[in-house]
């Protein structure tokens, strides 16, 4: 029987088969969280991949204190200055024609709104997303999520199709040299989609870097080819930059590397730097067509002033401190450190990613089952926590040997080096 101090005694377990992390967190500051019993954990996940400015950033704290005493929440039809300012400033960070913003709370909610808009504008209902996607747990977002959560809940929304993932480390379609042939894979993927479609394709919803899917960076050229596939079929391209947007990959937006402008862009997580804030951004043309058709997405906290004020402060800090460039510098330091570890630890099979969104994949010994990588990842995660580092493995069967590493953009060189050192010690302790 559980005692009254165990989290499981009163809390619903919501992460599939995953357990709560050990210890009760008392406070957080900068790149660290602190438990009630006084332990410090270096936070290499930025909370839920969100706290890009670290924890308790003084400017965020000051904004919340001031704004909550001035104007926190309004009737959904009212407009406040923080909302207007944030919409205008987000448009200024984006290429044309992205200039219209809808401010919401979570990534799932924003993806829901984006899909609803795409269906209304195109007149279609069918949605394409990656076979290892994660877009949220609300109805349409969950139906476009294939990495987890599909079994046992009954039928998903009709008309959802999975596209194969262009995973260069574990390619399923290869060229003559054994490398990923993503063009042929993409062609075959859409051949299958066309065969199943009832002629009502509406949207393709993807991440530029699949995070929960194993930190898979789309190959250069892939996003442009995907856009062309979509537009040939009258579909809208929706990019979910919940974890990649706002400087984490070394650019303000991950799509900038490929010069591809989506029809609809979804931001969340990083926009609020840990507070619940999301945005759907699109062109004036798409917004006008949606409006003419009676677009409806009326929520309790749409365009709320308090989180919008926080979003403005996030943009202030990102711009002033040039955190896009800082993410590149720290990302290079992190990847170099991890590659040095790979030389000493043969269980490290791959180091990948962009900026401060980095994946590290462990591989079991030759002939071992993929489940052995899951066990190894779990053991290394536990040992890291014991040594003072919070790490996150992909919580999917067969992918539990892949770490998602995303420290705050405000981390110091020393904190990156300390985290790599702790990971190395954990690997040594677990593998002997």
Active site residues: 134, 207, 240, 243, 269, 404
Cis peptide leading into 97, omega within 30 of 0?
yes
Query: Sign (positive/negative) of CA torsion 263, 203, 102, 295?
Result: positive
Residue 166: exposure state from Cβ atoms within 10 A (0-12, 13-18, ≥19): buried
Q: Which of 245, 212, 31 is nearest to 136 (CA)?
A: 212
Residue with tokens 């993929």: 370
Q: Which two tokens stand for residue 297?
A: 């997405």
Task: Compute the distance between CA of residue 256 and CA of residue 259 in angstroms, rounded to an integer.
Answer: 5
Q: CB within 8 A of 74, min separation 6: which ones? A: 80, 303, 304, 305
Q: Cα dihedral sign for 278, 282, 286, 291?
A: positive
Distances from the Cα of 429 to the Cαs of 118, 360, 421, in angstroms? 50, 18, 12
* DSSP-derived secondary structure for 259-318: T---SEEEE-GGGTBTBS-EEEEEEHHHHHHHHHTT-----TTTT-HHHHHHHHHHHHHH
24-34 b/e (C-beta count within 10 Å ≥ 16 → b): eeeebebbbbb
Pairing of strands 40-43, 389-390: parallel
Distance CA 175, CA 245 (A): 32
The Cβ of residue 248 has, within 10 Å, a number of other Cβ atoms equal to 31
Residue in 279, 118, 284, 144 with CA at minimum distance from that of residue 203:
118
């Amino acid at each position: 029987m559980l005692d009254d101090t165990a989290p499981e005694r009163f809390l619903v377990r919501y992460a599939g088969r995953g357990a709560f992390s050990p210890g009760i967190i008392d406070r957080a500051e900068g790149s660290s969280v602190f438990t009630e019993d006084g332990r410090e954990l270096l936070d290499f996940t930025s909370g839920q991949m969100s706290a890009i400015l670290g924890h308790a950033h003084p400017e965020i704290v000051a904004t919340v204190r001031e704004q909550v005493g001035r104007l926190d929440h309004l009737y959904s039809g009212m407009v406040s200055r923080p909302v207007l300012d944030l919409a205008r400033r987000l448009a200024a960070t984006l290429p044309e024609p992205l200039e219209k913003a809808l401010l919401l709370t979570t990534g799932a909610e924003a993806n829901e709104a984006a899909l609803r808009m795409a269906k209304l504008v195109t007149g279609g209902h069918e949605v394409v997303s990656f076979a290892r996607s994660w877009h949220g747990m609300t109805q349409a977002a969950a139906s476009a999520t294939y990495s987890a959560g599909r079994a046992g809940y009954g039928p998903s929304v009709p008309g959802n199709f999975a596209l194969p993932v262009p995973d260069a480390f574990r390619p399923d379609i290869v060229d003559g040299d054994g490398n990923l042939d993503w063009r042929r894979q993409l062609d075959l993927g859409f051949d299958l989609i066309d065969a199943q479609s009832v002629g009502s394709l509406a949207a393709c919803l993807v991440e530029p870097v699949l995070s929960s899917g194993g930190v898979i960076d789309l190959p250069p050229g892939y996003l442009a080819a995907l856009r062309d596939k979509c537009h040939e079929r009258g579909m809208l391209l929706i990019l979910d930059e919940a974890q990649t947007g706002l400087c984490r990959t070394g650019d303000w937006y991950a799509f900038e590397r490929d010069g591809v402008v989506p029809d609809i862009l979804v931001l969340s997580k990083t926009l609020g730097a840990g507070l619940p804030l999301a945005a759907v951004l699109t062109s004036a043309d798409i917004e006008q067509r949606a409006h003419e058709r009676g677009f409806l997405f009326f929520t309790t906290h749409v365009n709320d002033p308090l989180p919008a004020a926080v979003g403005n402060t996030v943009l202030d800090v990102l711009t002033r401190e040039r955190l896009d460039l800082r993410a590149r510098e720290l990302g290079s330091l992190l990847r170099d450190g991890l590659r040095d570890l790979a030389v000493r630890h043969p269980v490290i099979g791959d180091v990948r990613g962009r900026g401060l969104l980095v994946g590290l994949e462990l591989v079991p010994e030759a002939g071992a089952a993929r489940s052995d990588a899951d066990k190894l990842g779990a053991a290394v995660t536990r040992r890291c926590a014991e040594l003072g580092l919070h790490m996150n493995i992909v919580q999917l069967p067969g992918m539990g040997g892949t770490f998602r590493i995303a420290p705050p953009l405000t981390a110091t060189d020393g904190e990156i080096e300390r985290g790599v050192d702790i990971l190395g010690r954990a690997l040594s302790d677990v593998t002997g």
